[in-house]
Amino acid sequence: MNELLRDDTLRRLGPQVLGVLVRRGADFATAEDAVQEALLEAVRRWDAPGATAPSDPKGWLVTVAWRKFVDARRAASSRAQREIRVTLEPPTGPTEQADDTLLLLSRCCHPALSPASSVALTLRALGGLTTAQIARAFLVPEATMAQRISRAKKTVTGERFSEPGDVRAVLRVLYLIFNEGFTGSPADGVDLAAEAIRLTRQLVAAVPEDAEAAGLLALLLLHHARRDARTTAAGELVPLDRQDRARWDTATIAEGVGLLQRALARDRLGPYQAQAAIAALHDDAATADETDWPQILEWYDELARLEPRNPVVALNRAVAVGHVDGPLAGLRLVETLDAGLPRRDATAAYLHERAGDLDEAARRYAVAADAATSAAERTHLTKQAGRLRHAPG
Amino acid sequence: MTKYLLLKHYRGIPEPVPGTDVPMDRWTPEEVTAHMEFMGKVIDDLKERGEFVDAQALSPRGDFVRYGGEDKPPVTDGPFAETKDLIAGWMAIDVESQERAYEAAAYLSSAPGPGGRPLHEWIEVRPFLTDNAEVTG
């Protein structure tokens, strides 16, 4: 097989080529189809017996994709006899590439799209994943995912775009992609968490002055570093305080901490930086007992100031309060929160156990297990209830 | 080949085998782990035999929902009363015979419970109706 086809070259080039087309003024949906066709043609041509790949594969792809785009537009508008001006531009340098990344990301993460649609479109247009791969990662039939992407492209085509794109919306979508890979099963073939990190790196390169983009990348890295220790070989969850910290990835932690420090130095604090700071403090503790809870609580106070109406923040802050001011203080906060809030019972159970009320802790873990949204979480919470009910004494 | 659905129930099954009817949140963590590992092994074995189609666990939370009439919100009934049948999850398999489907269901039912003893859990076995009428001759 041709060298360019063997590695990830095509997958990496696809989004860059799409960026060039869109920057030249091509509409997103038609351009995306054109790039997919150009990639298929590349596979056919370059892999033919005796074929040699072009010396400038990106230039080749841009030429072919642009031709396909023009053909598609001509076919669509032949009646209107609209003329399409073909611009001949020099190859793009790194600056244009970074701009293209931001341009594409802001289209894929447009607020008019549902989160699920943004995630799918981003993975295809920027991740360079095939529809089949994305469908597998989200456990839906390929035809369903194809339709979701197609509807998303139609929605985006009708929208106007303000420069330079909404970085906040992009951050949310990247965070969602990471979470899907973090809480879901290690999907066959596609590592969504790693993909989210790769895309966030591209975003940070495109908006190097944005402290929250760097904060998100730091947050993802600081969580990703614990991934191997988060589950047993059988796929069961291991909570943070029971993880084998020797299995944490220290190089990734160091990178995350460095990014976070540079982001904080910009003095533009936001929720992602605050969450990254909390993750960094957890990662910094050699044992669970050495966790610097007072400092974590300070960061939760910051986070609660930034997002005063976020109940998840309030719930997590209650855990920190439980460690600093005692479990009963934490419980008082938990009980003020809405009963339907996810993980509220699990948090209450954790604090009741620390307060020494094992019966109530077991009961709340069992309630939490019934409300769990993932099989791994359900098993984990069920075991917590059983552990307390079989505790000696 | 025929596809079968193997259904696990939280409730609404025939009388359980005496001594096996302990809710899972009262098992020891080791017993839960052993049970889950066995389930994983059942799936691996079915994959290995080329019989596995799909498996999914379901939350015990849910409602009955029906059409409420034009311009009216859906009507819901729930959460389920304690007496109602409640499906816990399914496994879909594609096998040569009904005998083989029953064998797979019995294997699933032999999963360990408290004390590591087989649960003898009732599994509901339902053949899929196929899309195509088989024409012979």
The residue extents of the domains of chain A are 1-92, 94-208
A390 close to B (CB below 8 A): yes
- H or E element at residue A170: helix A167-183
CA dist A93 and A81 (Å) reads: 34
Q: What is the pLDDT of residue B84?
A: 74
Placement of tokens 């009363």 in the chain: B81
Chain B residues with beta carbon closer than 8 angstroms to that of A136? none
Q: Where does the pLDDT of residue B133 fall: very low under 50, low under 70, confident under 90, or very high at 90 and above?
A: low
Of B25, B36, B37, nearest to A386 by CB-CB distance is B25
Q: Mean pLDDT over all residues of chain B?
A: 90
In percent, the amount of chain B with pLDDT more than 70 equals 93
Better-scored residue on pLDDT, B102 or A97: B102
Buried b (16+ CB within 10 A) or exposed e, A260-289: beebbeeeebbbbbbbbbbbbbbbebeeee
Q: What is the pLDDT along chain A (393 residues), one digit of tens a residue?
A: 566 666 577 888 888 899 888 888 888 888 888 998 898 888 888 888 887 778 888 899 999 999 998 888 887 765 454 444 444 444 456 667 777 888 888 889 988 889 999 999 999 988 888 898 889 888 889 999 999 999 999 888 766 655 555 788 899 999 999 988 765 555 456 789 999 999 999 999 989 999 999 999 999 999 999 999 998 887 888 999 999 999 999 999 999 999 999 999 999 999 999 999 999 999 999 999 999 999 999 999 999 999 999 999 999 999 999 999 999 999 999 999 999 898 999 999 999 999 999 999 999 999 999 999 888 899 999 999 999 999 886
Residues A378, B133: Cα–Cα separation, whole Å: 41
Q: Which residues of A touch B61 (CB under 8 A)?
A: 370-371
Sheet holding B52-57, edge to edge: B52-57, B86-95, B2-11, B124-127
Put simply, whether A346 touches B (Cβ < 8 Å) is no
Taking the C-alpha atoms of residue A316 and residue A350, their distance in angstroms, rounded to an integer, is 12
B36/A362 CB distance under 8 A: no
Residues of chain A contacting B31 with CB distance shorter than 8 Å = 386
DSSP per residue, A77-99: HTTTT---PPP--PPP-HHHHHH
Give the chain A residue nearest B38 (alpha carbons): A234
pLDDT for A82:
43
Residue from the list B23, B29, B40 with its beta carbon closest to the beta carbon of A383: B29
3-state DSSP assignment of residue A210: coil
Which member of B24, B37, B59 has the closest CB to residue A373?
B59
> What average pLDDT does this structure show over B110-117?
94
- pLDDT value of position B102: 97
Whole-angstrom distance, CA of residue A17 vs CA of residue A25: 13
Go through the domains of chain B in sequence order and give each one's CATH number.
2-61+85-127 (3.30.70.1060)
Percent of chain B with pLDDT over 90: 72
